[in-house]
Amino acid sequence: MKSLENKSIPYKIYLTEEELPRAWYNVRADMKNKPAPLLDAETMQPITAEKLGTVFCEELVRQELDDTTAYFEIPEEIRNFYKMYRPAPLIRAYCLEEKLNTPAKIYYKFEGNNTSGSHKLNSAIAQAYYAKQQGLKGVTTETGAGQWGTALAMACSFFGLDCQVYMVKCSYEQKPFRREVMRTYGANVTPSPSETTSVGRKILEQFPGTSGSLGCAISEAVEAATSQEGYRYVLGSVLNQVLLHQTVIGLETQAALKKYNIKPDMIIGCAGGGSNLGGLIAPFAGEILRGEANYQLIAVEPKSCPSLTRGVYRYDYCDTGAICPLQKMYTLGNGFIPAASHSGGLRYHGMSGVVSQLYEDGLLEARSVEQTSVFAAAEEFARCEGILPAPESSHAIRVAMDEAIRCRETGEEKTIVFGLTGTGYFDMMSYGKFNDGVMGDYIPTDEELQAGFASIPQFPGNEI
C-alpha cells in the first residue's frame, strides 16, 4: 500500500509559530490592471475614505482603498491570536491519492481547525482588532448560515467588543446550533427583520410573515452601526480588506511548499464572494504577475450560482439592498437568488473585485460544478481522509479529484494544491439529503440569468 511507505514528506506540514507570516500581501500592488474603484451608491462617483469611514473602521478603509502598498504588517496581537489556531497544516492527501490510484500528488491547506469551522476567523480577528484600536464599543454584521457571525463573535469576545449579529430569521429558527455558538461567545443575535431598526420595522409592516433575507439583514446591520455611537459595520467577504487578511492562507501555503521544495502545478479554490480563493491564490498570482513563476489557478463555483462562468463584468451593488457601494465585478445581478434547492453554499451573486480582475486578465480560470457531484466528492474525501468537509470547500475537492483522475489517465505526475476552507459539521441536513438520494441539481436558464442581469444598475459604460 502506497500510504504505508515511509514518507519523505509528512502527512501534515506544520510551520512553526515563528514562521507565521508577519505581513499580509496586497496583490493589487503587483497588478498592472488594478480593480476599478468602488462607487458611492448615492453619487455614483469613486467613494471617498471619509464616506467609507462612516460605515467601516479607519484602518480598514485605508486597507480597502490602498492598491499600491504590497505588504501590510500583521499587528502582534493579531499574530498572537492566529497562534491559537495557526499556522494551519498543509496536508498531503496520501490516502486520497491511493484511493484514486493517481500519479498526481495532492495537497490541501486545511482552514477548519478552529471553532468557527472555516477561514472566516482570519479576517474577523483583524477587523475586531482595528475596531478595538479605534476605541469603538462594538461592531455589527449580518449572517446567513452563521459561519461569519460565529467567527466575528469569537473575535469580539477575545477583544471585549460588543458584537451585534443580524441573523436571517429562517436561519435563526432553523439553525439554532449556530445561533447558540454565537451566544456562547457573548454575541447579541437578533433575528432579521427585527423591531430594533427602522428598516426592519418597515419590512415587518409590509411583509408581516417574512422569514428574512441577507439583503435585509445587511440593511439592518448597517443602520445599527451608523445609528449607534461607537459602532461600525463589518463584512466577511468580497471586500479588498477581507481578501488582504485571507492572504495568510496563501502565504503559509507558499512557505510550507518552499520548506519541502514542492513546486505546485495548479492551485484550486472554491469561490463564493472570493475571499478564501483570493487569499489562497494571491501570493501565487503575485509570482505570476512579477514573472517569477507560472501556475494554473482555478476558481470553482456552483453551476447554480455561476458568477464567473456565466456572469458579466460590470459595476453592481455588493448587497441586494443596494445601500453598499458598487463594485466592478463578475456578477449575476444583485437581484439574482440561486434556487432554494441549492444547499451547497457559495450563493453570493457577485465576486471580489480583485478576483474578477485577475479572471478578466486571464491569470485565473473558472469552472462550475453540480452540487450532487460536489457532495459525492465530499463523501469520498471524508471516507479516506477523515475530515468531513464543508459543502463550499467540497467544490474545490471535486475539481482536484477530477484533475487527479485525469492524471491517472494521462500518466502525468502533477502536483495539485487545493484549499479546504472548512468543516461541514453544521451542514448535516444537506448531507442527509444527499444520503437519502433526494438532492437535485439546478442550472439557471438563460432567461433566469437575463432576469438577474436586469437588476444591475444601468449607466453609461455599464450597460448589459
Which helix H or strand E contains 189, and what residues bound it?
strand 188-192
Q: Which of 183, 201, 259, 408 binds a copy of itself (CB under 8 A)?
A: 183
Stretch that binds a copy of itself, among 83-91, 224-232, 267-275, 330-338 (CB under 8 A): 83-91
Angle at the Cα of 437 (from 434 to 443), degrees rounded to 5?
75
Binding mask 133-172 for a copy of itself (x = CB under 8 A): ---------------------x--xx--------------
Q: Which of 22, 83, 258, 406 binds a copy of itself (CB under 8 A)?
A: 83
Our finding on whether 262 is near a copy of itself (CB under 8 A) is no
- Tell me if 399 sits within 8 A of 298, measured CB to CB: yes
Shortest Å, Cβ 354 to a copy of itself = 29
Our finding on whether 425 is near a copy of itself (CB under 8 A) is yes
Kindly give the residue spans of alpha helices, DSSP state H, lying in 237-350. 240-259, 275-289, 307-310
Dist CA 42 CA 50 (whole Å): 14
Our finding on whether 34 is near a copy of itself (CB under 8 A) is no
Stretch that binds a copy of itself, among 38-46, 49-57, 77-85, 239-247 (CB under 8 A): 77-85
Q: Which of 22, 34, 258, 383 binds a copy of itself (CB under 8 A)?
A: 383
Q: Which of 85, 295, 313, 442 binds a copy of itself (CB under 8 A)?
A: 85
Q: Which of 429, 443, 454, 464 binds a copy of itself (CB under 8 A)?
A: 429
Choose among 376, 370, 300: nearest CA to 338: 370
Our finding on whether 260 is near a copy of itself (CB under 8 A) is no
Our finding on whether 192 is near a copy of itself (CB under 8 A) is no
- Tell me if 203 sits within 8 A of 119, measured CB to CB: no
Our finding on whether 3 is near a copy of itself (CB under 8 A) is yes
Our finding on whether 101 is near a copy of itself (CB under 8 A) is no
Dist CA 121 CA 390 (whole Å): 15
Dist CA 366 CA 373 (whole Å): 17
Kindly give the residue spans of alpha helices, DSSP state H, lying in 317-390. 353-360, 371-385
Q: Which is nearer to a copy of itself, 293 or 428 (CB)?
A: 428
Shortest Å, Cβ 334 to a copy of itself = 33
DSSP string, 18-52: GGS-SEEE-GGGG-SSPPPPPB-TTT-SBPPHHHH
Sign of dihedral through CA atoms 389, 391, 396, 399? positive
Dist CA 105 CA 102 (whole Å): 8
How many CA within 13 A on the CB side of residue 334?
23
Q: Which of 33, 207, 406, 432 binds a copy of itself (CB under 8 A)?
A: 432
Interface residues toward a copy of itself, by CB under 8 A: 1, 3-4, 10-12, 14, 16-17, 76-77, 80-81, 83-85, 91, 95, 113-115, 117, 154, 157-158, 176-181, 183-186, 379, 382-388, 423, 425-426, 428-429, 431-432, 435
